[in-house]
Structure 1
């Protein structure tokens, strides 16, 4: 019933008019500040900020003295009036500390001031020590250099100078593409896309739902520009005031976090994100305004909308919204699974002691890497003989053993370990006895629940693997001792340098092999070390012994594996919050678009729907086109994600990417179907609700 001359629909439209556009601007401001903070926080871990160009120096061993190369770098810096910085990871804490060495060519530049005042770290967890480039006169010049405070073309000059000394030099002066790809691979990137869709939905809904208000203004003689100006005038002050309040609060929190470091960059990035979202908001508002103003005056006064155009506009948001919602939910479930695994592994890490991973130099030539790999393998074998090296490498039996005549082999997760692993971790047989290892025999622990066929397949595959390696390395096939493991045995795999790989293994197939068996080469050990699977039981031992072995140029840093896992766990917790935010926002967009489609359809066809209703038409018959379109929209993403799961299952490589459907145990297609069906149900139920309201309104009018 109308009250005080205002119907419920008019009140609802007035609320939409006064609130949705302001909310969109406030959300854009909040997302811009939060997104800028998260992006800069992550970028500062990978390298110093405000870089103009990067120079990657690699290749064969230098033909000139390091002092000469450092001198050339300083000469280029002075000639081009730029500051050139080399970043070197800290030997003992590569993930939490770094060293920056500056060749000063522009004393007025920011990088030059770092020598006296320190680097302004945006991410306070990264400790940065700054020195002069001259301090590297006796070090290997290969590595990564950054150009600051001058033209990016200086990197090309540096490239030419270093190439003349025999180095391989790669220069990068444009970062737009790589930054965009990096942003979209992170949770905050997904969040910004969701925010853009949400703000577009709010802005488009603001103008579409105000069709009656625009019609009244047209009756009063207002033109399009005047109507737009009136909208801007009515909302500009409150929008900007709210955005300013959000910005002030956010800036205060950031200043308290890092004392205002990189303040200018934070402001510029926040403004860029805010303006980008506002452009999308303005486009959505403009499209909605054009559609609302295109309706004939008499129909517009009654609150009706043109046919098809409003629905097409909403589907431009709704179609990507359903895919992004499925994507966001998938990433959330994956993040929850990864965090659960890391949380379960924390107790094992606490009992693992101080184990260290080595980080190898990627900038050497192929010949040098081959030579150093052999020396690294020798060093690791010696450490293994001393009981100081622990091997824990996850593999797949399909890739370990050569295929048989039928082209197939057994498939199972394999944990390849050495005897030192058995001394640090408790592994028991089915009788409860703790296992140990000899120096030459290979011991294979078969899962307790493996049936006779599986046991036979495992034995056949392991025998084939042992014969193949023995033949390749010219050694006799060692004795292989098969035992059955304890029921429900969970083993700790020490993680890996690869992201999001499992750390705990339930009833895994274990292969215990030492260097005395001859089945592992020096290159194998070096490869395991590069993956973080060959660990030393003490960081100081790793540094000292590797230096004694002449590997100081190849082993750049040694990190605490347990600390790395704790840092990764903290990052997963932080990412989980962003994933939850993404799911919530994307669900809001999807539901809002479903409700908008329902409402627009009823307003477009109000009289037709009422006429069909009183003639007894069924819901499906009345809204057949809507049911077909929404069903297609539900079926397409379902088919897409099912096909992706099938393709992922057929791949011959193991993937730990966050969007791999198999990480959710094959449930990603089911999640996609549930979200698509829920979206369909919300749309149809909303349509039914609006139809009932439309019928009641027409009945009152009659």
Structure 2
């Protein structure tokens, strides 16, 4: 008979494969349009009109029987809606596509389908997806070239590549945790069933005969369990999305199931082979090949420790992100309809200067009119470490934030016309003002040679003030949007201190917030800007989407952490069972001879201490590596990049907690089995 635990694991694998497939396909579809074989990226339209491109697409699609679509994000809600302007290869299917829409798996991203001739008057630059043979993308590229367009062809990544990319974080950790749990549980169940396998050997059944017998029983169980799982999945998907992209979901689920089931079957075979390492007489008694069993146990325990540390770090980071995003969401909600602007990257390198100038001048006009909040994270803390955070902001930012001087009064907007900087330095950093000012001038001169000669007025700020950065500090690796006692470099609204290129770069990094979307929509009457501005992203909506995302990540991380801890505990139980079974008589003799518990199991505890120091070694090595790289940048006279961040103290403490938890698990397991040995030995005596 198969152990009940083995059946439970295989049923869990079927169900969890469906869960992972659901999140994988959902994230992949929100990442981009699925199903295309190649993309043609038009970067320069020259003097070609939109209707010429639309006619060319229609002709190619009909002549070659492929569907071609251009994706354009929704102008006002790009986080949750996109538009596909489609020309199906089969003209008869066009009404069905337009009436029924593009099949969408996720509820969180809506895809609207339109006929491609609706964009005949739009700028033709952008991405064109080819649904069909990748060779047809070359035909479309050649047709575009003959029109005078500049374009590039790129093969679309495969579905599994996309899922690997979007699931590279918590989903991959969940997959590894499930895999380890399946291997450990099935291996343990087979070893616990060693006596039954010994009886089968006594009846002359070979290893292959027993293994084939187990697989036959598993096949029968799979049919029943798969039927229940499939029925549950179909019911859920019918309610969730009307069974859209069912075949795609089924393909991914089967792939994940095979990736989990095959190692589980391999673990079954290896554990079964271990029961054949002992003689039949010993096997009937339930004895095992101790050395092999212990080696296998620690081969699983080692990755379980590292996985627990990794998942624990992810879980804590996710918890911090939830707190940070919750605070962001409340502040962004107060901004009402404020938006950031998404710019198109579909332009030739030769046109980059012209577009940068056009966007920069537009944003400067908006800044001078008081229509934007500008906040750019400064990197002067790399030159002046005492200034832990610094922001380059406009006067509108100061008015919105309410920054106070040491007497508690708010700084007011200055009259228009003054071009000098205001450097607001917290009182605690007053002694470093000259160094901070020099660092600010050096940073500004990197983009404008006149930056080193800019006049600056230095003002004090009350210590202990919290300033909201509108999410700008995330681009330099800071998780929180709230900073304490930052140095504020205040630039007059619309000042020439900020170059056109700097304004454009700030727009691309979401460092410019337009308080009224109508101001942006009015400027889109300019044909040049209309071809560059893709969408307006409401900051409140974007913050809500991010909040939902991190909440989901936290929940998945918490479940994965629980699973990783369960694997660690099961591995501890496994090695404890094997060790105490092998040495039961010696343990009892030492116990009645007065040996202490730690002395009896000193070899086990020594091995565990060696194993569990790995998380501490890993965090210590990371600290050393980061400090070594920072020293190399400093020696070269360069500021270190933001990504070089050594593990914080809490990360080291978490590594110590993982080590302590693993040691406590092995201590508890050995204590339970030691107590059983003593009671059984006393009863026999």
Fold shared, TM-score > 0.5 on shorter chain: yes
| Structure 1 residue aligned with 2:377 | 394
1:446 to 411, 421, 425: 425
| Structure 1 residue aligned with 2:32 | 47
Deviation for aligned residue 1:382: 0.5
- Cα gap change, 1:194/1:409 in structure 2, threshold over 3 Å: closer, same or farther? closer
| Structure 2 residue aligned with 1:596 | 574
Deviation for aligned residue 1:512: 0.9
Q: Does 1:29 align with 2:14?
A: yes
Q: Does 1:78 align with 2:62?
A: yes
- Cα gap change, 1:469/1:317 in structure 2, threshold over 3 Å: closer, same or farther? closer
Alpha-carbon contact 1:379-1:549 (below 8 Å) kept: no
1:483 to 439, 459, 477: 459
Alpha-carbon contact 2:24-2:167 (below 8 Å) kept: no
2:83 to 86, 99, 106: 99
1:431 to 401, 407, 415: 407
| Structure 2 residue aligned with 1:307 | 290
Residue correspondence of structure 1 range 619-698 to structure 2 within 5 A: 622-648=600-626, 651=630, 652-655=640-643, 662=647, 665-698=648-681
Alpha-carbon contact 2:387-2:486 (below 8 Å) kept: no
- Cα gap change, 1:451/1:536 in structure 2, threshold over 3 Å: closer, same or farther? closer
2:136 to 116, 132, 154: 154
Where 1:215 maps in the other structure, the secondary structure is helix
Deviation for aligned residue 1:234: 5.1
Residue deviations 1:425-481 (CA, integer Å, cap 9, x gap): 322112111112434232222224x15544454344335556x36970489522x22
* Distance in 2 (alpha carbons) for counterparts of 1:500 and 1:567: 19
Deviation for aligned residue 1:146: 2.5
Deviation for aligned residue 1:671: 0.6
Q: CA RMSD in A?
A: 2.9
| Structure 2 residue aligned with 1:542 | 520
Alpha-carbon contact 1:156-1:171 (below 8 Å) kept: no
Deviation for aligned residue 1:337: 0.6
Alpha-carbon contact 2:423-2:489 (below 8 Å) kept: yes
| Structure 1 residue aligned with 2:550 | 572
Deviation for aligned residue 1:517: 4.7
Where 1:357 maps in the other structure, the secondary structure is strand
- Cα gap change, 1:193/1:627 in structure 2, threshold over 3 Å: closer, same or farther? same
Deviation for aligned residue 1:183: 4.3
Residue deviations 1:277-310 (CA, integer Å, cap 9, x gap): 1112111111111112222112112211103211
| Structure 1 residue aligned with 2:98 | 115
* Distance in 2 (alpha carbons) for counterparts of 1:244 and 1:661: 50
* Distance in 2 (alpha carbons) for counterparts of 1:346 and 1:421: 18
Alpha-carbon contact 1:86-1:143 (below 8 Å) kept: yes
| Structure 2 residue aligned with 1:347 | 330
* Distance in 2 (alpha carbons) for counterparts of 1:59 and 1:368: 10
Count of equivalent residues: 669
Q: Does 1:507 align with 2:488?
A: no
* Distance in 2 (alpha carbons) for counterparts of 1:280 and 1:340: 38
Deviation for aligned residue 1:86: 1.7
Alpha-carbon contact 1:86-1:102 (below 8 Å) kept: yes
* Distance in 2 (alpha carbons) for counterparts of 1:113 and 1:299: 70
1:248 to 215, 231, 234: 231
Alpha-carbon contact 2:70-2:126 (below 8 Å) kept: yes
* Distance in 2 (alpha carbons) for counterparts of 1:532 and 1:178: 28
- Cα gap change, 1:52/1:347 in structure 2, threshold over 3 Å: closer, same or farther? closer
* Distance in 2 (alpha carbons) for counterparts of 1:107 and 1:21: 53
Where 1:433 maps in the other structure, the secondary structure is coil
Deviation for aligned residue 1:188: 2.1
* Distance in 1 (alpha carbons) for counterparts of 2:577 and 2:167: 33
Alpha-carbon contact 1:379-1:546 (below 8 Å) kept: no
Alpha-carbon contact 2:191-2:275 (below 8 Å) kept: yes
1:495 to 471, 475, 486: 471
Q: What TM-score, normalized by structure 2, do the two folds share? A: 0.90
* Distance in 2 (alpha carbons) for counterparts of 1:516 and 1:617: 81
Residue correspondence of structure 1 range 403-418 to structure 2 within 5 A: 411-418=387-394
* Distance in 2 (alpha carbons) for counterparts of 1:32 and 1:462: 53
Where 2:342 maps in the other structure, the secondary structure is strand
Residue deviations 1:215-258 (CA, integer Å, cap 9, x gap): 01111232334423443455555554344334322331221121
Q: Does 1:461 align with 2:439?
A: yes
Residue correspondence of structure 1 range 110-259 to structure 2 within 5 A: 113-148=96-131, 150-162=132-144, 165-175=148-158, 178-179=161-162, 181-232=164-215, 236-238=219-221, 240-259=223-242
Where 1:547 maps in the other structure, the secondary structure is coil
- Cα gap change, 1:474/1:676 in structure 2, threshold over 3 Å: closer, same or farther? closer
Deviation for aligned residue 1:373: 0.9
| Structure 2 residue aligned with 1:560 | 538
| Structure 2 residue aligned with 1:337 | 320
Residue deviations 1:659-702 (CA, integer Å, cap 9, x gap): x765xx43212211210232123124322432342344344445
Residue correspondence of structure 1 range 252-291 to structure 2 within 5 A: 252-291=235-274
- Cα gap change, 1:183/1:418 in structure 2, threshold over 3 Å: closer, same or farther? closer
1:293 to 276, 283, 287: 276
* Distance in 2 (alpha carbons) for counterparts of 1:118 and 1:503: 39
Alpha-carbon contact 2:77-2:538 (below 8 Å) kept: yes
Q: What TM-score, normalized by structure 1, do the two folds share? A: 0.88
| Structure 2 residue aligned with 1:8 | none
Alpha-carbon contact 1:25-1:243 (below 8 Å) kept: no
Alpha-carbon contact 1:91-1:556 (below 8 Å) kept: yes
Alpha-carbon contact 1:183-1:189 (below 8 Å) kept: no
* Distance in 2 (alpha carbons) for counterparts of 1:597 and 1:616: 24
* Distance in 2 (alpha carbons) for counterparts of 1:52 and 1:43: 13
- Cα gap change, 1:195/1:434 in structure 2, threshold over 3 Å: closer, same or farther? same
* Distance in 1 (alpha carbons) for counterparts of 2:537 and 2:478: 18
Alpha-carbon contact 1:469-1:519 (below 8 Å) kept: no
Deviation for aligned residue 1:356: 1.1
Alpha-carbon contact 1:440-1:516 (below 8 Å) kept: no
* Distance in 1 (alpha carbons) for counterparts of 2:291 and 2:127: 56
Alpha-carbon contact 1:445-1:485 (below 8 Å) kept: yes
Where 1:491 maps in the other structure, the secondary structure is strand
Residues 35-44 or 130-139, more deviating = 130-139
Deviation for aligned residue 1:200: 1.3
